[in-house]
Chains A and B, each alone.
Chain A
Amino acid sequence: MSAVSFLAIDPLLEGDFLWTPLLIVLVKVLVVFVVGLVATMLMVWFERKAIAGMQNRVGPNKAGPFGLLQTLADGIKLFFKEDLLPERADKFVFRLAPYLSFVPAFLAFAIIPLGGDFRDGNGGLVTWFGQTTRVQLADPPVGVLFALAISSIAVYGIMLAGWSSGSKYPLLGSVRASAQMVSYEASLGLSLAAVILVCGTLSTSGIVNAQSSLGSWNLVATGVVPFLIFLVSATAELNRPPFDLVEAEQELVGGFNTEYSSIRFALFFLAEFMNTITMSALIVTLFFGGPQPITIGGTSLDIPLVPNGLEGTVWLLLKVLVFLYIYVWFRGTLPRFRYDQLMDLGWKFLIPASLGWFMLLAGQRLADDREWDQWIVMPLSLAVITLAFAMMQLAFRASDRNREAEGVQF
């Protein structure tokens, strides 16, 4: 059984083969898939409604109560539209690309702890039908690295969609997208490294378990900076405003998906919103304790009328909603970045900043282990980081001067 034993961190899968665990896993897969789809549908509605509110419009209000069924109606419409295949397209890759962006969006959702009882050192375990398990589809020991790997695979969908369309604008859009996603993946990974350093584990349930009180939430434990870097990089990784240069309508017609229509277009659309939800859930898991209740000084807030087993899910939902609103808010208020600003922010600021902060945290922990005096170590590390930052700025200024001397204009 060594091939599957790395899954055995979920106590459900230990021991002999039984039908009940298999059924529970199947039900979990189904629930995660359906919840993902329904949440995406509601997210589209939420985004349109909230944006409409910010712009003094009404938004969708005809289909169903409060226009809730608008997305369903749009989906059905897209299903029945004609499926166009451009003459100059690369047929196979053109058909493959939507799935390459849709499937990763769902895969990443599998490692997010969706609930469970994390209080009193319970570790998020719940008992269903006499089986102890986690409220999470999979809990691999490589946890968050899986999410990173999945988000790097998601680049393929967008890149190949643009290339295989066989026309100029989609190609430009997808070249922009892949450059952007590859650049911001670096700072995403580096800010995530700070979380891993503080928690000492890669598994998502382990990370949630380490954040048992408000003070030990990674937001506080890693010192806010990695969270801010992660939020900005995640927004860029999702290609959402203000980083939506991928589909800048004024410049690119529609971006990588210009040539797509019907259900294939719907798959891209679905993947985009699904990714937003997954990324929000990941932020909550990494920095805000996931399904952990808000605990101050040993007493945790209790939601009345909700049984303990479900309370984690309610907390997760509330926290994720905050971030979903923040993403909509970004879209409603922030103007789009220019391309060189985007690259400057990523390479010249976010990556060095996340690396510097990671070194600072590592230094602090090393000093802790060796029992060095923190009052000497911290100022010293800060001085080194400031020096490195100043030298970097000098290098940037020198290269800017060289460019100006060459007559390159920006």
Chain B
Amino acid sequence: MVAQNIAFGIVAAVMVWGALRVVTVNNVVHAALWLVLVLAGAAAQYVILAAEFVAITQVLVYIGAVMVLFLFGTMLTRARIGAERELNNKSWWLGVPSSVLLLGVITLALVSGFGDEELPKDAAVVSTQEISDLIFGPYLLPFWALSFVLLVAVIGAIVLARKD
């Protein structure tokens, strides 16, 4: 497992660096590109965990769709090249406690959920079929709930965009 640990370390370092740049860089499009790097890093972590279906979904959904639409919206509205001075607003420091809180919650959830369990030495590859059996079997209800969240978002967009 040594090679994976080294790869994990490198990718994680790149992700942390990218995440810091997202909030420090003073150009919206550059910030979005750093975010793409962070998301790609997450996909790489999934590959290291031998979950290649999740990795490719991460690329397809977050990098290929969400970030493209995000950049698209930014380019249509405020696509200035070069630094922007008023990119930071006054309450930026509120992000610090909320991210620390998030880190605490995730750590707590992981530690209480898994304790000191270890990954199996030679982890079997989870096939796409197994994942879909899980999603459309025991996890069908949460899956539906998530779909409704998306539906609400779509209806919200229509309500906002309608002129009458």
Contacts and interface: CB of A to CB of B under 8 A. Distances in A.
A146 interface: yes
B38 interface: no
A150 to B, nearest CB: 9
A182 B65 CA distance: 7
The DSSP consensus for interface residues of chain A is: helix
Contacts of A88: 81
Contacts of B122: 1-2, 5
Contact of A178 (B4, B56, B68): B68
Given A2-B122, A142-B52, A152 B72 contact: no
Contacts of B128: 141-142, 202
A146 B47 CA distance: 13
B66 to A, nearest CB: 10
Interface residues of B, number: 37
Interface string A263-285: 00000000000000000000000
* Residue with the greatest number of chain A CB neighbours at <10 A, chosen from B47, B59, B122: B59
Interface string B64-81: 110011011001100101
B125 interface: yes
A164 interface: yes
Contacts of B3: 3
A146 B56 contact: yes
Interface stretch (A72-80, A153-161, A235-243): A153-161
Interface in B3-30: 3-4, 7, 27, 29-30
Q: Which of A2, A175, A182 has the most CB of B within 10 A?
A: A2
A2 B123 contact: yes
Interface string B101-112: 000000000000
Interface string B59-103: 110011100110110011001011000000000000000000000
Given A140-B52, A163-B75, A149 B64 contact: yes
A185 interface: yes
A6 B36 CA distance: 25
Interface string A56-68: 0000000000000
A148 B3 CA distance: 29
18 contacts: A3-B7, A3-B50, A5-B125, A93-B33, A141-B52, A142-B128, A145-B56, A145-B60, A148-B60, A152-B64, A152-B65, A152-B68, A153-B63, A163-B71, A175-B72, A175-B75, A178-B68, A179-B72
Interface of A: 1-3, 5-6, 88-90, 93, 140-142, 145-146, 148-149, 152-153, 155-156, 159-160, 162-164, 166, 171, 174-175, 178-179, 182, 185, 202, 402, 406
Closest 9 CB pairs of A and B: A152-B64, A149-B59, A2-B123, A149-B60, A142-B56, A90-B81, A145-B56, A6-B52, A6-B125
Given A149-B64, A160-B71, 12 more contacts: A2-B123, A3-B3, A141-B53, A145-B57, A146-B56, A149-B56, A152-B64, A163-B81, A171-B79, A175-B76, A178-B72, A406-B164
